[in-house]
A and B are shown apart, each in its own frame.
Chain A
Amino acid sequence: MAEKVLEIKNLTKKFPDGTVALNDISVSFEKGDLIAVIGPSGAGKSTFLRSINRLQEPTFGEILIEGKDILKTKGSSLRKLRRKVGMVFQGYNLIKRSSVLQNVLHGRLGYSSSIKGSLGMFSQQERKRALEVLIRMGLEEQTLKRADECSGGQQQRVGIARAMMQDPVILLADEPIASLDPASSARVMNYIKIMSQEQGITAIVNLHQVDYAKSFATRIIGIRAGEIMYDGPPHLLSEHIIKDLYQDQYAEEARAQ
């Protein structure tokens, strides 16, 4: 059996307004898997992902990253654990006015001293690494451009490069291709897949396109109303299950029409 990188126990998130976004979720993830999380809008996919690196504070539960509960850490030990978890966002979230290279180097901030990192002083080695990652992502032409001068697909690859610089064991991606055209989408998903396979990174990707989930993921988790409805390999995800998963959304859309 493969090594468990991430173990989630009884994860629950209740918002102050009473919304239960995650209801007692327990699940574990193995090294090198590419997991697609699918489910209707409002199911709790983002909340689930953002709980893992604590961009959102869960109400209850345990999140063990290589055996260490991130919910029990704070301050610098939280930051140390966070650098093991790279994250890619739908809106890229790059520093627009900084260069592509600088943005990629930001992935090293968690490893550098506070002062050096603040001043943007990175070692020769780190710069070399950043260039290699950029070349790997097909971005060598963009290295010195300002981040907002790049296309959406390029910016998302910069986002992945930044996450890769963290030497992560886990890569989280919340709808990484929702704002991209099909060609860029496939390219971005491909890079995530390659990184996951080559470096043994456990990638957890929220997707709302089931076809992408099926063609890229090694495992699919279906969430509905804060609970896991499906957890298994892509080929076992039947039309029937998909319909079941999205039933509320279908009903809503039907009502709207």
Chain B
Amino acid sequence: MKKNIKVWLVAGVAFLLFILSLAQLGLSRERLSAAYDRGMVIVDSMIPPSVSNPSNVATAALESLHVAVLGTLFGVVFSLILAVFAARNLTPHFTVSVAVKSFAAFVRAVPALIWAILFIIAVGLGPTPGILALAVNSIGMLVKVYAEAIEEIDIGIVEAMKSTGASPMQLVFQGVLPTMMSALVSWSIFRFDINIRYAAILGIVGAGGIGWELVRASRMAAYSEVMGITLVIFFMILVVENVTRLLKKRLDLASMETVRS
């Protein structure tokens, strides 16, 4: 009985919030139906999709790919370095670990598009701010997951390396990296999948790549062009996703092999 009242209360509040939001946004029935009509017109003009300047679009798509690859690469390298300091079992001091982890959490909280805008202000338009934005955005996530992977490493391995007289750098390269390699690779691939999606839209704010072509076409109301470019983005992501999936499958097979033996 009591539970029932609670459910009704929550539902009532939710409904109230819904009505309030509608009123706030000024959504009226007329506007909604008008949007529908306008939408239908646009969809009509999108068909058939076209690409008026294929070489331009291809170059832009390739640029997006470059942005994603380089952004991921820089992200991976810097995340690894930071993760060594963030992981509780390797950090020189726990305050360093807390500091690096908080930094990553902050970076993570800021969306990629905002990083892109910030870097455009700093270095100007083009693919460079896109690469930097993706690198920084990747760091936010990768430092966390890499550090967690390092923290899962058996402390015995660290002790064994230390007892040979190995330096901290040797410990990381010869002991920690080989041990966390499969986690490292699969997280990095996962991140690349995310980055290729971002790279496709970063151009919207002027950070290079195919997104810019999309904005250009829509500003000129060239809706068939918009559709064409959207399809190119779609195929680009599809191809990348399948390549990374294949790669992952290979790796999983490789690690299954080792479990079996």
A97 with B178: CB separation less than 8 A: yes
B residues near A148, Cβ cutoff 8 Å: 258
Among candidates B156, B174, B178, B261, residue contacting A117 with C-beta atoms closer than 8 Å: B174
A109 with B163: CB separation less than 8 A: no
7 further A-B pairs in the complex, CB-CB below 8 A; given A93-B160, A106-B175: A79-B167, A86-B164, A87-B159, A97-B181, A110-B166, A117-B170, A162-B160
A82 touching B178 in the complex, CB below 8 Å, given contacts A91-B156, A109-B170, A119-B173:
no
Asked whether any CB of chain B lies closer than 8 Å to the CB of A149, the reply is: yes
A93 touching B165 in the complex, CB below 8 Å, given contacts A98-B178, A117-B170, A118-B173:
no
Q: How many A-B residue pairs have CB under 8 A?
A: 95
A89 touching B160 in the complex, CB below 8 Å, given contacts A79-B166, A106-B174, A117-B170:
yes
Complex interface bits, A197-238 against B, C-beta within 8 A gives 1, otherwise 0: 000000000000000000000000000000000000000000
A contact residues vs B (CB 8 Å cutoff): 53, 55, 76, 79-83, 85-87, 89, 91, 93-98, 102, 106-112, 114-115, 117-120, 146, 148-149, 159, 162, 166, 172
A55 with B169: CB separation less than 8 A: no
B165 with A80: CB separation less than 8 A: yes
Taking the closest CB of chain B, its distance from the CB of A12, in whole angstroms, is 22
Interface of B is mostly: helix
A residues near B160, Cβ cutoff 8 Å: 87, 89, 93-94, 106, 159, 162
B159 with A89: CB separation less than 8 A: yes
A residues near B174, Cβ cutoff 8 Å: 95, 98, 102, 106, 109, 117-118, 120
Asked whether any CB of chain A lies closer than 8 Å to the CB of B247, the reply is: no
Asked whether any CB of chain A lies closer than 8 Å to the CB of B162, the reply is: yes
A93 touching B156 in the complex, CB below 8 Å, given contacts A55-B162, A107-B164, A166-B164:
yes
A83 with B169: CB separation less than 8 A: no
A residues near B166, Cβ cutoff 8 Å: 79, 106, 109-110, 117
Taking the closest CB of chain B, its distance from the CB of A87, in whole angstroms, is 4
Bound together, the chains give a CA A91 to CA B156 distance in angstroms of 8
Asked whether any CB of chain A lies closer than 8 Å to the CB of B217, the reply is: no
A149 with B164: CB separation less than 8 A: no
Q: Can you list 14 A-B contacts (CB < 8 A)? A: A55-B159, A79-B166, A82-B165, A83-B164, A83-B165, A91-B154, A93-B159, A93-B160, A97-B179, A111-B165, A117-B174, A118-B173, A118-B174, A159-B160
B residues near A82, Cβ cutoff 8 Å: 162-165
Bound together, the chains give a CA A108 to CA B174 distance in angstroms of 12
Closest to B261 in A: A149
Bound together, the chains give a CA A55 to CA B158 distance in angstroms of 10
Asked whether any CB of chain A lies closer than 8 Å to the CB of B161, the reply is: yes
Taking the closest CB of chain B, its distance from the CB of A80, in whole angstroms, is 7
Chain B residues 161 to 216 lying within 8 A of chain A, measured CB to CB, are 161-167, 169-170, 172-175, 178-179, 181
Bound together, the chains give a CA A190 to CA B33 distance in angstroms of 88
Closest to A149 in B: B261
Taking the closest CB of chain A, its distance from the CB of B164, in whole angstroms, is 5
Bound together, the chains give a CA A114 to CA B174 distance in angstroms of 11
A residues near B165, Cβ cutoff 8 Å: 79-83, 109-111, 166
Taking the closest CB of chain B, its distance from the CB of A123, in whole angstroms, is 15
Bound together, the chains give a CA A83 to CA B165 distance in angstroms of 5
Asked whether any CB of chain A lies closer than 8 Å to the CB of B118, the reply is: no
A residues near B170, Cβ cutoff 8 Å: 109, 112, 114, 117-118
Closest to A166 in B: B164
A114 touching B154 in the complex, CB below 8 Å, given contacts A82-B162, A148-B258:
no
A residues near B156, Cβ cutoff 8 Å: 89, 91, 93
B residues near A146, Cβ cutoff 8 Å: 258
